[in-house]
Structures are given as structure tokens and as C-alpha cells.
Structure 1
Amino acid sequence: MSGASGAEAPAPPAAPSQARIAARAVGRSVAASARSLGAHAATVGHAVARFAAPVTGVVSTTGWLVLAAAAVSLVIAWAFGWIEFAFLGFTLLAAVLVSIGFVFGRMHYRVGIELQPARVVAGERALGRLLVTNAGTSASTPSRLELPVGAGLAEFVVPSLPPEGEHEELFAVPTNRRAVIVAGPAVSVRGDQLGLLRRTVRWTDPVELFVHPVTARLRPSAAGLVRDLEGEVTKTITNNDISFHALRAYEPGDALRNVHWRTSARTGQLMVRQYEETRRSQLILVQPTDRDQYASDDEFELAVSVLASLGVQVIRDATRLAVVTESLALRTATPTALLDDTSRIEPTRRAFPSVRDFVREATKRLPPPSVVITVAGSLLPVADLRTVETVFGPDTEIIAFRAELGAASRITRIAGSTVVTVGDLSELPRLVRRVRP
């Protein structure tokens, strides 16, 4: 009876029955089989889709809608016995069948696209030329060519051409704003008038037209904007340069050409020369492209024009230059290369938390600059522009150009920074002449 007063020990868990184990095994087997069948079905489906692509690819979106409407109409007619829906379904199917005849046929063309000129300044006129030649041995049938030009689409009707016959079309390219306009590819289209079926053949590659920003002509050397630091002595000590500094004791690894033999003979110890490092000017142009920092699209274009004007003149002065924006680094080998890349600059959305973070990230792999020029919009506070000073050392001059469309152009000096407000591009040469780093 004494054991009755204590708690009973819990019974051990019952071992799973053989039926439950078998059910789990069957379930796992079924799941694995289902996955295998699904993967096989997907593979077969992709193969069928690739095989049928030449046919299904001809059917346009309108064609698929017509086929779906025909199927729904026939199902309703069969389910409810409504003859009207049967008539509608067969009519839609007949329209698709009739359109099949319009996609047959083969064309043998040579198509060329020319843009004259290939580079223009925003506002200048540019023309395009489309030349179609029948490369076949028999006369071609009339066809239609589509040519995307920028955001638009030009359509041309090519008449019947004899062998080696040519057809020329001229078109104007809108160049009122800075951009890279892509013309092409030229595509021939065969299909019915309702647009149910559409077969296209691509004949050319895209051709680019560079619409450069409007720039201002600056004086050579930008009238002191870039300090000529070539040969300027710094406080950095190096083993290879032209400005002699001192002698020191030889250390393993030093070049023998730097040994000063006369002093070594007098002291009885090898002595080598040390030099003060000299450097050449390095200029960095940076432009934050956050859309929220510009009051309007025209103000953004003014900033790009300022950037391009400064960059082109620095390249002409043979000064080492790097140009970066929040979305790309621009080529600076020639003025044309720089202008081509400025045509690609687009506004961005919060690519970096601050201007300082952008400048630090964009310039960390570049040589130490002597001058850093920031080109920004009017909505960026001057205090944010001044934070760029903390990225570089005291030997680096910081200049900020603020594009403020319609404002009075002026130069303001705040502590160690120079802030240039540009209200109109025509004022830029005068402002640059007054800037003295």
C-alpha cells in the first residue's frame, strides 16, 4: 500500500506500427515520383514550346484574344445550345484562318541605316536615311518596315522592287534634348490588316545618335581654374624624383643608382640620395545626379552643360582628369568621348545617402587630386557641398558649381571653399575667369 501513495511512472511511448511506417514510406515515394514527373513535364513543355515557337510567335496579342474568345463562344454554344455563340466562334476562327495567308512569303533585303551627322548638339538638326535593296533574284512583293527611333516608331511602306532595286526613305530625328537616340533595328513586318498574325524579320543592328549637351567655350587653362602643379614640390619623401632632399644610410633593397659614391667614400658607409616628391595636377569633376537635388529638368540640363564645358576645356589643356557621376564614370581620353558619355547622364534616385558618401566612394580609387569640382543643383544645401572638404586633405582645393536656373550668377567664398552659382550657361566663361583656387 505504501507504493500507492507515490505517482505512477509514465508509460513508455508506443512504438510506431508497421502500417504507419509503410504509409510514410509510400508517401515519400509518391512525393518523389510527383517531383520527378513534374520536372519531366516541365522539360517536355519547354521542348514543345521551343518547337512550336515559330508558329506561336506569329500570333499577336490580339490574335490570342480572338482565339480565346472563339473558344469561349464555342464552349457556351455546346453547353447551352445557343446557335448565336456558335456562329460567333466560327466567325472568329475563320478570321484567324484567313489571316494565315498574309504571313507567308520570304523577302531578300539588304537594309542600311545612316544618321547624318552621328553627333549633334542639342537643338541641331539630324537626319536619318533608310536604304532598302532587293537582294533576291526576282521582284519582291510590297512590304512594311518598322524602325524604332528613340521612343517613337517610324513605319515605311516598301514597294515591289526588281532585283537589286533600291528604295530610300528619309526621316528627321528629334534632337531638342540631350540624349543618346537609338535608331533601329529595322524590322520587316508581314501580317493581316487586323493584326491577328504578325511575322517579323530583323535586318539591321541599332545605330546610336549622340545628342551632346550645349557647352560654353572657356579660355585655355580655364584662367587659373586648374593649378599647374607639374614640378611642384610636396612634403612627401621618396626615393625616385628630381628634387634632391638629403642623404641617408643605405638599406638593403635600395637602388644602386641612388648611391652617392663620393660621400660614401668619405664616410666609409654607403649613402643614398632622398628626394622630395613632385606631382602633376589631377582634377576630379563630380556631379551628384539625385533628382531631388534639382529644381527642374532644365536645371539638371544646365548642370550637365556646366560639367561638360569644364571637362572639355580641362582635356584640351592636357590636364589629368577624372569625371564621375552617381551612375557612371565618364571617359576622358578625348573631348568627343567625354561628350558622348555626358549624353548618357540621367537623373537617379537616392543612389547614396549623402553627397559626401558619393564623392568618397567615387574617388577612393583615383589618384590624390589637386582640385575637386562638384557640380550640383540648387536644392542641394551649401552645407552638404562643404562636407566634400572632409574627404580630401588640406592640399586639395574644393570648388562647387551650383546650377540655379534664372538666378544671378555669383561667386561666394565660404571658409576654404569656393561656391559658384550659375544662373545661365552664357555666364560660365566670365565666372571661370574670376575663380582663383
Structure 2
Amino acid sequence: MTTSLDAPPIAPAPDTSGADVTGEFVLPPEKRRRANPLAPVAASARSGATAAWRTGSRLAAGGWRFVAPYVQVISGLGALVLVAGAVALTGGLLLGWPELTFIGLTLLVAAVVALFFLIGRSSYSIDIELNPRRVTVGDRAIGRVLVTNIGKRPSTATALEVPVGEGLAEFAIGGLKPGEDTEELFAVPTNRRAVILAGPAVSVRGDQLGLFRRAVRWTDQIELFVHPVTTRLHPTAAGLVRDLEGQVTKKITNNDISFHALRAYVTGDDVRYVHWRTSARTGQLMVRQFEESRRSQLTIIASSDTRYYADDAEFELAVSVMASIGSQVIRDGTQISVVTEDRILKTHSVTSLLDDTCRIESIAGSTASARDFAREATKRLPPPSVVVIVAGSLMDATDYRSIQRLFGGETNVLALRIETGARARIQDVAGLAIITIGALSDLPRVMARAV
């Protein structure tokens, strides 16, 4: 079949793909959805509600900042008296009960009279001192509060409160003439290892019934460090490393101190290590090889997980053992790292280490196993030459061994098992020395035997 050139062109088939002549997609009429005429209104309402909420929040916050100083002077008892007085007075007037009206008036008048006790302003200079700032468990620590009237008028009597740890020291400060001062002393409990916060010193003005109370803060908090009991060790027993240049390892390196052997020159070797005499004799360039040595580094891994300790006394003994070893190592000038589950202790000086031991607290279930704890705690530390593990009597030998396997065979690992009242002894478990310590006085003798 042939087609004439004069035949009219064949009309294109209608496009049913849903695109119009402009190429844009258009739904068939029967599938078109009617646009929601309320959509712009709803969107505008939502944005308006959001803006109103933000404005209201800012206004409420600003209003609270304005009224807070006045509301905060009302104690719980004062709020109860005000509410009870208002309810009783309103009820008495509405119900015609003179007795109830009298009660309401009495309560409100008492509140008004109590307000007069808040009138007045004091100009004090208050200093808190702790002497000394660092003590050992059981030592005596005395705090001193010096109050000076720096105003131009005599001050009225006031009460001074100084929080000390979990307690509160209260002092009654009488009226002071301009420039006059008074001193108050207080004792700080030091029966347990801790960081005790003293302050801030707060002067309190209010009525005798306790309806209203206005407190003014005068000082910041200061810290008192109650260090654990420690004992002195023999220097070599504490460091467990007797060399000055570092421990020699079996790893061969191209540059170090301890000479190992000679080998043939390879392109890229440092010509400074070419042994020219041997090279001239053999006719081939020979370079020195060395045994890698590293500087002495001691790492103490001290667990504070409660599952490894029988009681609090055992945990405190472990902290004392760790602090004793760490203090002696720092005195000897050996590099040291001390880690627990929740912190890496500062080891710049003996004082910084003991200060940080005051912050150690027992925790429960921080890691799945002792190995996980040791791996996470030491992965960012320098490779150690000696590792000391300190834990309670409930950590078994398999836990100590799992920690030992984290370190290479060239690392000396020592496990200290703390058991209050137990006989001091040293056990060898598959090449790992496990030392049982029952009292802090056992530590110097046992450590001397261990090395």
C-alpha cells in the first residue's frame, strides 16, 4: 500500500499520559481534587497561635523575674497563713460568721506585722576561711567566718547560715557599729574521704514566726579536701621499674639506644646509622639495628564498681592503696596514669592526685565486665611498662587475667586484691601475681616482696 504525497497529514493520536501541551502534568477532571479553601486560614491560625505562645512565654518570664524577689521571701508557713487568712476572711464576710472573720483578720494582721521585720538593709563584708584546706581522714579542720560592717550606719541583728557539707552552721550576729567585726568558728567533719563544700554564707532577715524570710548571699563556696589515709613505700617498690633510660623491649627498630645487630643497607635508611667500619671491611653498606626502648610508664587501673567490693570499708582501703602507690610513683618521677570507671585522675603532683581521689565515688554496673572497663579506660593512654590492677575481694582471678591479656607480654602486670582483715599473701595464677592486702600497713612489705 502506497501513500500519496498530496494526502492530508494524519492527525496525531490523543495524548492520554496526563500532560498538557506545555508539558505539565494535569490530572483528569474526574480525578482532580478540590482545593481546601480553609487551608490558608488554618496555616495563618497556626502561625498566629505560635507567635502568641512565644509572646506570652516571654511576657510570663519577664513578669516572673519582676515578682520573683517579692514572692521568694514568703516561706511555706507564710503562704499557708496568707491563704488561710484570705479564705477565712472571705468566708466570714459572705456567710456572716464573725468568728471566721476574726480568724481571717488575725492571720492577715500577723502577716502584715511580720513584713516589717524585712525592712532594712545590711552592708557586710563576710569572709570564710578553712584551716587547713587539705586534711587527711580523721584530722581536725576548723572553719572561720569573719563578719564586718562596712556600712555607715550600725547594723541590726541578723542570722547567718553557712552550709558545711550536708550540715548547716547557724550563727546569731548581733548589731555591729560601722567598721566593727565579729568572728565565728565552726568545726568541719573529716571522718570520711570527701570534698566538703563550705558556703555560701547567707544572711537571713525575717520574723520570729518564720512567715517571711529574706536571704542575701555574701560569699561563694570553698572546698575542703579530705584525703584518704596513705602510707609511704620504698621507691623501687612503688615504681616497679629500676632503670633510668626505659625498659628494653624485643621489638627491633632503626633508631634507639640499645644496639641489637647490623643489617644490609636498604634504600631510605638514615645514613647516620651506617656502620662505616664494617661497611669498608665487607664492601657493602651496613646499618645498625636497635632494640626499642620506652620510657617507664606505670598505669593504675582502680575499679570503683560496687560489685567487686564486699563493703564500703573495703572500697576505702582500695582507694588508700591506690593513692599510696600513685603518690610514691609521682615522688620518684616516673610517669603514671590512674584511671577509674568514671575519671582519669590528675597526676601532675602528689597533691593533685590526692585531691582527685577525694572525688572518687562507688558506682554500680558501669560496664559489662572488668575487661571492658580496662579496655575503655586505657585505650587513650600511653603504652604502659607496668600495670597495677586494684579491686575488691569479689573480683575473681579470671577478671584479673582478662585485663592482663589486654597488654603485651612485655608489660609487667600486678593485681592487688583488697580484702579487709585478710592475711597478706602473694599468689601466682598462670603467671599473674595476685597480691591480697588486708590492711594498709601490709602494703609496703608486700610490694617490696613483689618486686
TM-score range normalised by the length of the shorter chain: 0.7 to 0.9
Give the corresponding residue for 2:374.
359
Give the corresponding residue for 1:221.
236
SS of corresponding position for 2:361: coil
Give the corresponding residue for 1:249.
265
Equivalent residue letter for 2:312: D
Task: Report whether the alignment pairs 1:414 with 2:414.
Answer: no
Task: Say if 2:154 and 2:177, in contact at 8 Å, map to a contact too.
Answer: yes
Q: Distance in 2 between matches of 1:223 and 1:111?
A: 45
SS of corresponding position for 1:412: strand
Task: Say if 2:247 and 2:296, in contact at 8 Å, map to a contact too.
Answer: no
SS of corresponding position for 1:315: helix
Shift of 1:345: 0.9
Task: Report whether the alignment pairs 1:327 with 2:321.
Answer: no
The within-5 A match list for 1:9-408 is: 16=34, 21-74=36-89, 76-77=91-92, 82-222=97-237, 225-226=240-241, 228=243, 230-245=245-260, 246-249=262-265, 251-252=267-268, 257-258=272-273, 273-408=288-423
Equivalent residue letter for 1:200: A
Task: Say if 2:239 and 2:332, in contact at 8 Å, map to a contact too.
Answer: no
| Distance verdict in 2 for CA 1:28–1:79, change over 3 Å | farther
| Distance verdict in 2 for CA 1:82–1:412, change over 3 Å | farther
| Distance verdict in 2 for CA 1:350–1:315, change over 3 Å | same
Task: Say if 1:215 and 1:305, in contact at 8 Å, map to a contact too.
Answer: yes
Q: Distance in 1 between matches of 2:408 and 2:158?
A: 66
Task: Say if 2:149 and 2:178, in contact at 8 Å, map to a contact too.
Answer: yes
Task: Say if 2:249 and 2:410, in contact at 8 Å, map to a contact too.
Answer: no
More displaced stretch, 191-200 vs 295-304: 191-200
Q: Distance in 2 between matches of 1:269 and 1:97?
A: 106
Task: Report whether the alignment pairs 1:425 with 2:436.
Answer: no
| Distance verdict in 2 for CA 1:97–1:240, change over 3 Å | farther
Task: Say if 1:58 and 1:197, in contact at 8 Å, map to a contact too.
Answer: yes
| Distance verdict in 2 for CA 1:308–1:223, change over 3 Å | closer
Equivalent residue letter for 1:105: G
The structure number with the bigger radius of gyration is 2
Q: Deviations over 1:321-371 (max 9, x none)?
A: 111111211111221221111111111121111111111111111111111
Task: Say if 1:221 and 1:313, in contact at 8 Å, map to a contact too.
Answer: no
SS of corresponding position for 1:36: helix
| Distance verdict in 2 for CA 1:385–1:235, change over 3 Å | closer
Q: Distance in 2 between matches of 1:72 and 1:264?
A: 108
| Distance verdict in 2 for CA 1:414–1:60, change over 3 Å | same
Q: Distance in 2 between matches of 1:66 and 1:248?
A: 97
Shift of 1:241: 1.7
Shift of 1:148: 0.6
Shift of 1:22: 3.6
Q: Distance in 2 between matches of 1:352 and 1:337?
A: 27
Give the corresponding residue for 1:3.
none
Question: Identity rate of aligned residues, in percent?
Answer: 55
Give the corresponding residue for 2:8.
none
Task: Say if 1:144 and 1:189, in contact at 8 Å, map to a contact too.
Answer: yes
Q: Distance in 2 between matches of 1:349 and 1:224?
A: 31
Q: Distance in 1 between matches of 2:96 and 2:43?
A: 47
Shift of 1:237: 3.0
Task: Say if 2:346 and 2:356, in contact at 8 Å, map to a contact too.
Answer: yes
Q: Distance in 1 between matches of 2:120 and 2:284?
A: 92
TM-score where L is the length of structure 2: 0.85
Task: Say if 2:273 and 2:288, in contact at 8 Å, map to a contact too.
Answer: yes
Shift of 1:71: 4.4
Q: Distance in 2 between matches of 1:29 and 1:80?
A: 50
Q: Distance in 1 between matches of 2:414 and 2:246?
A: 23
TM-score where L is the length of structure 1: 0.88
Q: Distance in 2 between matches of 1:77 and 1:26?
A: 51
Q: Let me know the Cα RMSD of the aligned residues.
A: 2.7
Q: Distance in 2 between matches of 1:104 and 1:265?
A: 100
Q: Distance in 2 between matches of 1:87 and 1:268?
A: 120
Equivalent residue letter for 2:414: I
Q: Distance in 1 between matches of 2:368 and 2:55?
A: 48
| Distance verdict in 2 for CA 1:223–1:339, change over 3 Å | closer
Give the corresponding residue for 1:5.
none
SS of corresponding position for 2:118: coil
Task: Say if 1:377 and 1:402, in contact at 8 Å, map to a contact too.
Answer: yes
SS of corresponding position for 2:405: helix
